[in-house]
Structure 1
Amino acid sequence: MFANDCTVAFNNNPDISGVGVRISFYLQTFLLVILVDRSWEDAPSALYTLIATSGGLQIAAIVQAKSSKLTLLQALQVSNLVWLANFGAFVALASYSRQKAKNNKQDPDAAKRRGKLLDYHVKYVAMLQTLVSMALTLYMWLTAKTFGPEAQCSSLLRYVFFVIRAPALGSGRLAGIAISVLLAVVYIYVTAHELRSSYLKRNQGRQRGNSPEVRNSTTSVAYHLPVVARPTHLRVDFNSSTDQLPQDTRTSSPESIKRATRRRSKKRRWSKDLDPMFVGILIFYAMVLVYFIVSTELLMVFNSSDDDAVKEWGFGQILAILVVIPSAISVTNALAEHGFKRLSKPKRGREPDTRVTT
């Protein structure tokens, strides 16, 4: 319970931090990371959905701030949800680039069929949205002492770093500024490096396409060296895979050699199709998701008020949940089709030479 003159500072806005909005962000970001890695062709539409949701939340917060109705507590809640979306988009874009590069190696004409819109524009929109959110977060922390209505009551707020509470205008503000600046610098560096690499690759591709050799070449000539057969008495049948087999299998029949090879490979059969990169991405983002969920929920608990509007389910809360349904269906279908296995099989060595020497 707070004094009457500080009641507004601790009120919650259901359109910004309602239970439906929070659940929607938690589910959307996690489902996006899974969907992009398992079915990367659906990445652009899923990313645009998350970007639109995050951008809409920021626009709503800006409109509230313009009319002096956005408190510092509400701005902190928006910041947590938007930063969660930023991390989700960043991880999803990294996974999308990885899967797209693999597919382009297997099918060089795939990018032309998809078009540049799906390959590049979603990346630029996500980068722009992330940079805008970083700028707004930094502005919020720098003006925290005078931010929103009843700014004199902001000194009572407690900001939460996972389970650690800190005064919102004291150590919490200093830590928020430092972390925001650090993440902004790192993200700008990574973004600039990515844009430069993309530009160099496209420029290199255009130069190869415009080179005189490529323009003037209409046919390709393949030269084959003659195959000279060695005398039978000089042939040596050697294979590293069969040479490592037990001595009794080197002179055995081909069937026994295959059985011995299969027996030796059964020990690691359970994990040979598991995608370690996908598992690593899930573990990393699960840690990020847990941090933001705990921080956001405890932020509301430690700064609670008598206003129960944030717990009410209105149209905005239900609409936020409905947005998650298409992503949930896509993730279910992708996992049913691919599971956790590798989407592209790793390169294998040559088959063992099963010829028996006499």
Structure 2
Amino acid sequence: MASECSPSGGPQMNTDISGIGVRVSFYLQTLFLSCLCARSGSPDEIVGALYTLLFTNTAMAVTALILGFQRNPEITFHDGLIIFYLLNLSWVTVVYVSLPVVAKFPNVKLLHVVSVVQSYIIFAFAFTMLISAHSFGRAPECNSHAVVVLFHPFPALPAGRILCLVLTAFFFTVYTGILVKDHLPPTPKRILQWIQQKVNKEVPAADQELPTTQPEAPPQPRPAPPRLAARRVEYHARKPPAVPEYDLQIEWPLVIEILVVLILWGLTVMNTELLISLNHFAPSDGQSSWQFGQVLPMFLVVLPLANLITAFRDHGLRKNPTSQRT
């Protein structure tokens, strides 16, 4: 059986799951949702766009699991790395940018449940792909040629695999720990009372620590010196003219937050596109890059884009007095 690897290293890309349209859709959804969370105070605008991204992430992870582990896999390890990068970008946007804002809104319990399901499906895909990296997907003979990029390319096997496994395990542990902590029942009242009694016994009262001292006699007032008669002189200074103050109506913390989002988002997109460029995928037999599987995901960008335009049209960069954000 002839190898599918190109002379420079990579197999053909499955454009239906990691093509240009899918990537642009992920990039823009995460960017628009991050900016929307920074600007908008409307729960309807944020929650609607967040549901779209959650279902997109879940569908992508489930599809990658099915296509990568069926009897005749339809994606390669190189495709899996692209999906891994895209899902990481999207997952961080959901968990660390959007959910802290949405948590302040009422009636978002279902959203949190969907978010937890999405997170563990993404973790399942990441762990299974990385653990079986040597034999994952179609054309496993090409897997040893893959590279990963973190501002600099290095081999995916074994160094990149180990790094990705460590990072995935770290985020899995932190995320699970936060979930467990948030859902643990409160400490029983008796245990709290027992702890308080132990602390009170070991720490002496403040009045017992202070040494007893004899009160000192108040000092005698000194006689006031004789007053000298003096003529009161008044000076009238001219006040400087008032300088008018101009309010630019710009919420500078919002501007800084958006700039930080743009910088981090740009760095992540740069690493993902470098990953694709440096893996040297084989040509796709003259097929167009923009097929049905690439055009359809672009429509998922419409809702967050419309909400973002509405939010900035209503509020601009001004402080939103009706915002529910703290």
Q: TM-score range by the shorter chain?
A: 0.7 to 0.9
What amino acid maps onto 1:300 in structure 2? I
Question: Does 2:6 correspond to 1:5?
Answer: no
Change (3 A) 1:61 1:293: same
* Cα RMSD, aligned residues only: 3.0
What amino acid maps onto 2:295 in structure 1? I
* Deviation >4 Å, runs of 4+: none
Change (3 A) 1:308 1:40: farther
- Counting only pairs closer than 5 Å after superposition, residues 298-309 of structure 1 correspond to structure 2 as 298-308=274-284
What do residues 99-138 of structure 1 show as CA deviations (whole Å, max 9, x unaligned)? x3xxxxxxxxxx4xxxx3xx22112211221122123212
| 1:335 counterpart SS class | helix
- Shift in Å at residue 185 of structure 1? 1.8
Which position in structure 2 is the counterpart of 1:19?
20
Distance 2:132 2:237 in 1: 79
Question: Does 2:36 correspond to 1:35?
Answer: yes
Query: Do 1:17 and 1:74's aligned partners in 2 also have CA atoms closer than 8 Å?
Result: yes
Change (3 A) 1:314 1:130: same
Which position in structure 2 is the counterpart of 1:140?
129
Change (3 A) 1:149 1:56: same
| 2:137 counterpart SS class | coil
Question: Does 2:318 correspond to 1:329?
Answer: no
Question: Does 2:324 correspond to 1:319?
Answer: no
| 1:159 counterpart SS class | strand
Distance 1:183 1:344 in 2: 36
Distance 2:117 2:101 in 1: 19
Change (3 A) 1:195 1:287: farther
Question: Does 2:145 correspond to 1:156?
Answer: yes
Query: Do 1:25 and 1:85's aligned partners in 2 also have CA atoms closer than 8 Å?
Result: yes
Distance 1:97 1:248 in 2: 57
Change (3 A) 1:286 1:195: farther
Distance 1:275 1:127 in 2: 33
Query: Do 2:11 and 2:139's aligned partners in 1 also have CA atoms closer than 8 Å?
Result: no
Distance 1:160 1:30 in 2: 21
Distance 2:35 2:299 in 1: 19
2:269 to 285, 293, 298: 293
Tell me the TM-score normalized by structure 2: 0.72
Change (3 A) 1:122 1:55: same
Question: Does 2:253 correspond to 1:270?
Answer: no
- Shift in Å at residue 192 of structure 1? 3.3
Which position in structure 2 is the counterpart of 1:234?
none
What amino acid maps onto 1:23 in structure 2? V
Query: Do 1:18 and 1:311's aligned partners in 2 also have CA atoms closer than 8 Å?
Result: no
| 2:153 counterpart SS class | strand
Q: Which has the higher helix share?
A: 1
Distance 2:26 2:276 in 1: 16
Which position in structure 2 is the counterpart of 1:123?
112
- 5+ residue gaps, structure 1, are 101-110, 201-246, 347-358
Distance 1:291 1:131 in 2: 25
Distance 1:128 1:288 in 2: 26
Change (3 A) 1:30 1:195: farther
What do residues 68-98 of structure 1 show as CA deviations (whole Å, max 9, x unaligned)? 2221111111111111110111211112335
What do residues 257-315 of structure 1 show as CA deviations (whole Å, max 9, x unaligned)? xx96xx48x27x336x5051x34442343233223211211111111233237861111
Question: Does 2:172 correspond to 1:169?
Answer: no
Tell me the TM-score normalized by structure 1: 0.66
Question: Does 2:181 correspond to 1:181?
Answer: no
- Shift in Å at residue 188 of structure 1? 2.2
Distance 1:159 1:136 in 2: 17
Distance 1:317 1:308 in 2: 14
Query: Do 1:32 and 1:92's aligned partners in 2 also have CA atoms closer than 8 Å?
Result: yes
Greater CA radius of gyration, 1 or 2? 2
- Shift in Å at residue 11 of structure 1? 1.4
Distance 1:135 1:56 in 2: 13
Which position in structure 1 is the counterpart of 2:51?
48
What amino acid maps onto 1:301 in structure 2? S
Identity %: 24
Which position in structure 2 is the counterpart of 1:94?
100
Distance 1:344 1:5 in 2: 62
Distance 2:5 2:120 in 1: 33
Distance 1:185 1:280 in 2: 30
Change (3 A) 1:150 1:319: closer
| 2:134 counterpart SS class | helix
Change (3 A) 1:311 1:39: farther
Which position in structure 1 is the counterpart of 2:67?
64
Distance 2:142 2:284 in 1: 20
| 2:149 counterpart SS class | strand
What do residues 10-40 of structure 1 show as CA deviations (whole Å, max 9, x unaligned)? 2111111111111110000111112233143
